[in-house]
Amino acid sequence: MGDNRHYAIGSITTRHLIQSAEKAGLGRDTALSVINDLIEHGPAAVESVRQNLPDGFPGAIADSITQGVLSRLKHLELTADA
């Protein structure tokens, strides 16, 4: 991400995504629009997926993935102005 390709996923911030988007030829405003869309609609998308998991899907796995995605979205939200 960004200028350095060696990031643990937990340390990726909005700034890194914007840097990568700009290197791909997208403007900052476009990148921020996509990031804000993820932040706004991500939780509902995660819940929709959870509601459509097959019967017998392990709850612990669903919970772990859900918590991870929601945590990443919150991190993006908190770093959006950085």
Give me the residue spans of the domains in the chain. Answer: 9-79
Percent of the chain's residues with pLDDT above 90? 68
Mean pLDDT score, 33-38: 93
Mean pLDDT score, 28-40: 93
Identify the band that residue 37 occupies on the pLDDT scale cut at 50, 70 and 90.
very high
Q: What are the CA-CA distances from residue 60 to residues 16, 42, 46, 65 (Å)?
A: 31, 20, 15, 9
The residue with greater pLDDT, 51 or 82, is 51
Would the CA dihedral through 81, 2, 31, 48 be positive or negative?
Answer: negative
Identify the band that residue 19 occupies on the pLDDT scale cut at 50, 70 and 90.
very high
pLDDT at 62: 97
